[in-house]
């Protein structure tokens, strides 16, 4: 299938309950539309700490004390990444009174992962760069719980298997290394329900924030395979 050209830059956030398949949809979007890049706040943070940058050292001190990394620090990481790709003017700073005028070039298209998670964070991001599509992924709770119960991981590589639809070649073993698969610590039902409650508390005002801006789009489905075609269609309608 020929790659469709973008008419304008796509700046996207995926929002959904834990286990809904945000990672799967992001991967599929980038495979379908290679112009998209992933900007992960978690990866930026880990890289900064590993490379011992000034910002990384500052963040590490918060992490070692058990404190959350402040929003402004995450925004500075995102700002640095967007500047490095020339997607926003190099003079842009968090102190600017108005949002940057981001590149409208289709090559300046990305999926932002891991931030914002709350409405106040979204407001701070608005002051930096405008997001133009927020996708709310919706799958019934009982479906997600079944998916999590069937999920196994190869922790060293991050490879994920599911005994319902993506089984390993040998039961309980990683396809590549043959090493044992394990359950994620946060895949127990009680843990997941606690995470869901926290997500619901923060996501409702977050989604309301983006609905007021006219960039929120909701999509429902019982599986990633059901959701993906709808997502591709909406994406093409907006950006191609």
Per-residue tokens: 42:
């978690």
> For the residues 204-219, what does the mean pLDDT come to?
97
24 marked ligand binding residue: yes
Question: Are the C-beta atoms of 49 and 167 separated by less than 8 Å?
Answer: no
116 marked ligand binding residue: yes
184 marked ligand binding residue: yes
Examine the pLDDT at 213 and tell me if it is beyond 80. Answer: yes
115 marked ligand binding residue: yes
Among 7-21, 180-194, 208-222, the least confident range: 180-194
Rg of the chain (C-alpha set):
19
45 marked ligand binding residue: no
182 marked ligand binding residue: no
3-class DSSP state for residue 36?
Answer: coil
Report pTM: 0.83
159 marked ligand binding residue: no
CA distance 83 to 164: 42
233 marked ligand binding residue: no
Per-residue tokens: 30:
């980038």
Q: What is the 3-state secondary structure (H, E, C) of 146-181?
A: HHHHCEEEECCCCEEEECCCECCCCCCECCCCCCEC
167 marked ligand binding residue: no
Question: Are the C-beta atoms of 196 and 187 separated by less than 8 Å?
Answer: no
pLDDT at 100: 62
238 marked ligand binding residue: no
pLDDT at 96: 67
Core vs surface per residue 168-202: b (16+ CB within 10 A) or e: beeeebbeeeeeebeeeeebeeeebeeebeebeeb
20 marked ligand binding residue: yes
218 marked ligand binding residue: no
What percentage of the chain carries pLDDT values higher than 70? Answer: 97
22 marked ligand binding residue: yes
Binned at pLDDT 50, 70 and 90, residue 23 comes out as confident
105 marked ligand binding residue: no
pLDDT at 97: 53
> For the residues 116-131, what does the mean pLDDT come to?
90
Per-residue tokens: 8:
């304008």
121 marked ligand binding residue: yes
pLDDT at 179: 96
Binned at pLDDT 50, 70 and 90, residue 98 comes out as low
CA distance 11 to 23: 16
Average pLDDT, the chain: 89
Among residues 185, 178, 197, the alpha carbon closest in space to that of 151 is found at 185
Neighbours of 142 (CB within 10 A): 9
Among 133-137, 152-156, 187-191, 202-206, the least confident range: 187-191
Examine the pLDDT at 178 and tell me if it is beyond 90. Answer: yes
């Amino acid at each position: 299938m020929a790659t469709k050209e973008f008419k304008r830059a796509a700046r996207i956030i995926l929002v959904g309950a834990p286990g809904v398949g945000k990672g799967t949809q992001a991967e599929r979007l980038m495979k379908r539309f290679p112009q998209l890049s992933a900007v992960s706040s978690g990866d930026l943070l880990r890289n900064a700490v590993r490379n011992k940058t000034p910002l990384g050292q500052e963040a590490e001190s918060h992490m070692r004390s058990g404190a959350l990394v402040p929003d402004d620090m995450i925004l500075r990481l995102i700002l640095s990444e967007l500047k490095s790709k020339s997607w926003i003017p190099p003079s842009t700073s968090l102190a600017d009174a108005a949002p940057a005028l981001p590149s409208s070039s289709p090559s300046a298209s990305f999926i932002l992962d891991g931030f914002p998670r709350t409405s106040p964070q979204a407001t701070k991001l608005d002051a930096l760069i405008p997001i133009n599509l927020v996708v709310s992924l919706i799958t019934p709770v009982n479906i997600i719980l079944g998916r999590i119960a069937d999920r196994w991981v190869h922790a060293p590589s991050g490879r994920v298997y599911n005994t319902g639809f993506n089984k390993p070649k040998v039961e309980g073993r990683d396809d590549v290394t043959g090493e044992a698969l394990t359950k994620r610590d946060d895949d127990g039902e009680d843990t997941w329900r606690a995470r869901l409650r926290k997500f619901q508390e923060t996501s409702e005002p977050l989604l309301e924030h983006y609905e007021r801006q006219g960039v929120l789009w909701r999509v429902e489905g019982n599986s990633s395979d059901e959701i993906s075609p709808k997502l591709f269609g909406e994406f093409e309608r907006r950006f191609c």
